[in-house]
Amino acid sequence: MATFSQTTLGKGSDLFTDFCCSPCLEHKIDQWAEFYCDNCLKFYCAKCTNLHGQWFGTHVTYGRGDTHKWPVSKEVEDFIQKCDLHEDKRLEMFCNDHSQLCCNNCAFVNHRQCAKVALISESVKGPLPDLQQISRKIQTFLEDLEELQNYWDTHMQSLKVLFNKQLHEITDTRQKINTILDKIEQNTIKELEDKMTSLRASVKTNVDNCSKLQNKLKRLSDTIHEIVDKGKAELSFIASKKCLEKIKQSEAYLIEKLVQVESSLTFQADSDFQQHLSKLSGLGRIVVCTQAVPLPGAPDQILAVQGKSEYNVNIPSDAEKRFDIRAICVLLNDQILVVIIQIMIIKELSY
Ligand SMILES: [Zn+2]
Ligand SMILES: [Zn+2]
Ligand SMILES: [Zn+2]
Ligand SMILES: [Zn+2]
């Protein structure tokens, strides 16, 4: 049978085939067929159909409205008959033991021991399978799969958002640690400054005292030069006493300060702190949580009944009334809450 068809890439990756006009194709022109002639077993475009009609008026032709009467394209046939495991082989047999289609390779490799392996042409028995119903089933699965695909796409998007959020959290954590380190650094510098201030104050006191004593001694020394050899007995007496007293003081001062206390400042880094920091492998941990999420539209989970017991909730004073249990649920502490509605019964009065 001469069928000329072309495979076209339609929306998405859907493959569909269409037929080309046979005479036009012979002249290397691609022209979609509009009619199929059951007598010529050929396809014709609108133009060629006119010519065909003039020549073969009695031939039976089928237009686009009757494509179900057009032959199956070679592509469709090849696609259906191709073995899933061996791409270059055609499915030719059916193994009843495994209920599996097989090509020669499959039959040889996997079904050599099987008892009921027959040619497909021999296995075709009974009424034709309801392909429409199978097609509807496929549609349902395609819809479900698309929904699943959408779910994954959305999930991927939310993962990206989550990733950026966590990235921000990490940067934020680093900023917080920087702030803490800045504060610790400032505290250490402040401590250094405070200690320096108190050391400087103590050195300054020594400098002041020393200079005061020097001044007094110098003043006395100058004064002695003024009165020496002047024969002033009283003044000489006072001066000598004052000078001796100051000399005594200076002597005591120098003895006291003979051993000097030298102060220094050193910064000793906290090695424990540094070691602890260098041992850390990260600013924190990355925790991956996984949980089962039922998809919208997924059937409710099937619960198996594990036990059954009956209780009488009737109270004697309820004898005249009827009660309906409208709702029931298990509380967190394993107590059962039952919602009961009172139903009024209006009795017929008999005279
Ligand atoms: Zn024809
Ligand atoms: Zn044509
Ligand atoms: Zn195979
Ligand atoms: Zn088998």
Answer yes or no: are the C-beta atoms of 343 and 322 closer than 8 Å. yes
Q: Cα–Cα distance between 149 and 157 in angstroms, integer?
A: 12
Q: How far is the CA of 27 from the centre of ligand 1 (A)?
A: 18
Contacts of 64 (CB under 8 A, 6+ apart): 34
Query: Which residue is listed with tokens 């290397």?
Result: 28
**Which protein residues have a CB closer than 5 Å to ligand 1 (ion)?**
37, 39-40, 56, 59
Q: Cα–Cα distance between 106 and 85 in angstroms, integer?
A: 8
Tens of pLDDT, residue by residue over 5-32, are 554 444 433 344 578 899 999 999 888 9
| Full 3-state SS string of 42-88 | EEECHHHHHHHHHHCCCCCEECHHHHHHCCCCHHHHHHHHECCCCCC
Q: How far is the CA of 108 from the centre of ligand 3 (A)?
A: 9
Tens of pLDDT, residue by residue over 190-244, are 999 999 999 999 999 989 999 999 999 999 999 888 888 888 889 889 989 999 9
Q: How far is the CA of 112 from the centre of ligand 3 (A)?
A: 13
Q: Cα–Cα distance between 326 and 319 in angstroms, integer?
A: 19
Query: Which residue is listed with tokens 């050391």?
Result: 199
Q: Which ligand is nearest to the CA of 29?
A: 2
Tens of pLDDT, residue by residue over 236-259, are 899 899 999 999 999 998 888 877
Q: Cα–Cα distance between 349 and 351 in angstroms, integer?
A: 7
Contacts of 266 (CB under 8 A, 6+ apart): none
pLDDT given for residue 298 in this prediction: 67
* Angle, helix 233-256 to helix 131-227, in steps of 10 degrees: 150
